[in-house]
Amino acid sequence: MKCSFVSSCCLLFLGLTTVVQALPTKCLQTVERQSVCPHLLYKKAALPVALLDIDQGEIICICLSDLKGLIRSASSKVERIDQQVTLQRIATDYQLSEQDILKLIRN
């Protein structure tokens, strides 16, 4: 009896771990990222993201470390250019418009 309880707990823990590990694959982040994102945000998707297989209203993971420059207004011309390049690259990578990327981040 005690052995089956321990086995059940282990299987439950293993199942939960698998689910948690599966979620970051549906993350909006730069494609160059090689390590785990240090600052993740999970929220409802404001619109569908086909490349991540996410429908509107489903949970999407957003790597804020990669997109932090897009959240606030640029204070210099160099920052504005940096933001525009990042926004264009991510929009192209995920086959979305620049407005769609901003909507996912801000809404």
**In the chain, where the domains are located:** 27-106
Q: How would residue 99 be classed by pLDDT, with cut points 50, 70 and 90?
A: very high
**What average pLDDT is seen over the chain?**
80
Summarize the confidence of residues 15-35 as an average pLDDT. Answer: 66
Closest CA to 65 of 98, 19, 105: 105
Tokens matching residue 53: 């297989």
The C-alpha atoms of residue 48 and residue 36 are separated, in whole angstroms, by 24
Most confident of 2-11, 24-33, 62-71, 96-105: 96-105
Per residue in 39-84, pLDDT (tens digit) is 999 999 999 999 999 999 999 999 988 887 777 777 889 888 888 8
Summarize the confidence of residues 72-100 as an average pLDDT. Answer: 89
Pairing of strands 59-63, 27-28: parallel
**Regarding predicted confidence, which is higher, 33 or 17?**
33
Q: Indicate whether this model's pTM tops 0.75.
A: no
Closest CA to 29 of 20, 19, 21, 39: 39
The C-alpha atoms of residue 53 and residue 55 are separated, in whole angstroms, by 7
